[in-house]
A and B are shown apart, each in its own frame.
Chain A
Amino acid sequence: MKLRDIKEIIDAEVICGDAKLDLDIATACGADLMSDVLVFTEEKTLLLTGLTKPQVIRTADMLNLAAIIFVRGKNPNKKTIKLAQKNNIALLSTDYPLYKTCGLLYEAGLSEEEIKEEV
C-alpha cells in the first residue's frame, strides 16, 4: 500500500514529506511508548502515535521507520517537524483517534507487524 493511499483512507493531512507519498508501506504499528516502538524491526513500517515530541522522530530514525502519523488532530511543534525533515521522515496528521485510525488501515489490508522475539 502506498503512503498516498493511507493518507486517503484516514483522511490525513501531510505535515512534511510530500515527496514520500509514493513510498510503499508494508506494515504499521500504533504506540505511544517509545520502548514499544523500538521492538519493531521492519523498515517500511508506519508509526501511528499520539505523541508529538522530537523524541518520536529520533526513535523513528533509529529504526529507519518510513513515516509517522499523528492521531487525534495533534500537530507537532516546529522542532519536531524540522527534525523529521532533516531525517527524511514523512509526517501526517489525522483527526481520527488512534483506535479508529488503526482500525481503518487494518480493514483496508495493511497488516500488523509481527513482533519477533529474536530481532
Chain B
Amino acid sequence: MQKAGFSLEFIEKLALDLTIDDIMTYDVITLSPDHKVKKAKEIMRLRKISGIPIINDNERLSGIISIDDIITALEDEKLEENLDNLMSKDLITINSDAPITDALRQFKKYQYGRLPVVDNKNILQGIVTPGDITNKLLEEVEAMKLIEEDQNDNNEEEFQIKIEVEGGDFENSGQASTKIKKLLKRQNISPSFIRKVVVIAYEAEMNVVIHANRGQVAADITPEKVDVVVEDEGSGIEDVDLAMQPGYSTASDYIRELGFGAGMGLANIQRCSDELNIESEVGVGTKLEATVYLRENEK
C-alpha cells in the first residue's frame, strides 16, 4: 500500500524545501597548502573522513585533497610533499543557500564524493556529501513514518522503537533519544518520567557515538514501564564496576570539548533507572538494559 506521504512528489518537495545549510557539516577539519600530504593522510585515517578542504591564510578555499589523491601520493611516494603539489585545484563548489537538489545534480554530473560549501567571497562554510543528503531525507521520511504509525495505532498503548546509531557521528548524536522523547510525549505520562527515560537513552546513545563503531538504541514502551536497550559493536568495557564510578572516563579531549566524557554518563543512567544491567565483552561490544517503572503519581 502506498502511503500518501511517501510518493515521489513528497520526496521531491522535501528536497526542494531543504537547503545546503540544513544538511552540511559545519565543523570541518581544514589544512593549509604548505602542510605535508602525510598529515592529511593521518587525519583521514584517524577521523575516518574521505576528503579535506585546503584553505589559504585568508580562509579562502584553495583546494581539496581526497582519499584518491592520497592513494596516488602513496603510489608515487609523495607523502613528504606539500599539499599544494597534490591537491585538486579545479573545484566545484556550492553555496549554502542553494537547494539540495542542486547538490544532487552536481554529484551526479561530476561523481565527486563531497562538495565544499562557500559563501560569495569563497570563504569555506562547510562541506556536504551525498551521504548527508541521503541521511537527511531518510530522517525526514522516518519522522513522517513515526507520525503516521502513531496516527494509525492511536489506541495501542504498547509499542517499540529501534534506532540505529553510528559511532563517531557527533553531528547527529542525540537524534535517537529525541525520537524516543517525541514518542513518549504523545502519551499521557508525566514529564518527570519522560525525563528519566530520556536521560538514560541520551547518555547511552552518547556512549555509543563516543566509544563504539555502531549500535542501536531501542525503547519498549508499555503502560507500566519502559525498557531502554542500547547495544553496540565496539571496544567494550574492561571493568564495568570501574566504569560505573562517577568521574571514571576514557574519553578523548575532542569528546570533552563537546561537554561529554567527564565520566558521569553511567552514573546518570543508574540514577534514573529502577533496574540496570550492563554486559560487556572487550573487543566485541556492550549491551545496556535499563528499566524505569511508572509510579502511581506519574500516570
Contacts and interface: CB of A to CB of B under 8 A. Distances in A.
Contacts of A38: 199, 202-203, 268
B225 to A, nearest CB: 16
Contact of A59 (B195, B259, B264, B272): B259
A55 interface: yes
Interface in A8-57: 32-39, 41, 43, 49, 51, 53-56
Contacts of B259: 32-34, 37, 49, 51, 53, 55-56, 59
Interface string B148-188: 00000000000000000000001101100110010000000
Contacts of A49: 259
Nearest to B257: A53
A49 B258 CA distance: 12
B187 to A, nearest CB: 16
A115 B196 CA distance: 14
A49 B56 CA distance: 33
Contact of B191 (A58, A61, A64): A64
A78 B195 CA distance: 28
* Chain B interface mostly: helix
A79 B126 CA distance: 11
Interface string B251-263: 0000001111010
A119 B42 CA distance: 45
B233 to A, nearest CB: 23
Contacts of A58: 173-174, 178, 202
B191 A55 contact: no
A119 B192 contact: yes
Interface in B20-77: 21-22, 26-27
Contacts of B260: 33-35, 55
Contacts of A59: 174, 202, 259
A119 B173 contact: no
B195 A119 contact: yes
Given A35-B265, A38-B203, A53-B258, A62 B26 contact: no
Contacts of B265: 35
Given A53-B257, A61-B178, A78-B26, A35 B170 contact: no
Interface residues on chain A, size class: 20 to 34
B271 interface: yes
A61 B174 CA distance: 10
A53 B203 CA distance: 17
A119 B271 contact: yes
B115 to A, nearest CB: 17
B46 to A, nearest CB: 20
Contact of B170 (A32, A41, A55, A61): A55
A41 B192 contact: yes
A34 B256 CA distance: 10
A39 B246 CA distance: 13
B198 interface: yes
Interface of B: 21-22, 26-27, 170-171, 173-174, 177-178, 181, 191-192, 195-196, 198-199, 202-203, 206, 257-260, 262, 264-265, 267-268, 271-272
30 contacts: A34-B206, A34-B258, A34-B259, A35-B203, A35-B260, A35-B262, A35-B267, A35-B268, A37-B259, A41-B192, A41-B195, A51-B258, A53-B258, A55-B173, A55-B174, A56-B259, A58-B202, A59-B174, A59-B259, A61-B178, A62-B174, A62-B202, A63-B198, A77-B26, A77-B27, A78-B21, A79-B27, A82-B22, A119-B192, A119-B271
Interface of A: 32-39, 41, 43, 49, 51, 53-56, 58-59, 61-64, 77-79, 82, 117, 119
* Nearest 9 interchain pairs by C-beta: A35-B264, A58-B174, A34-B259, A79-B26, A33-B262, A51-B259, A55-B258, A62-B198, A38-B199
Given A53-B257, A77-B27, A117-B271, 19 more contacts: A33-B264, A34-B258, A35-B260, A36-B264, A39-B271, A49-B259, A51-B259, A55-B173, A55-B174, A59-B202, A61-B178, A62-B181, A77-B26, A78-B21, A78-B26, A79-B26, A82-B22, A119-B195, A119-B196
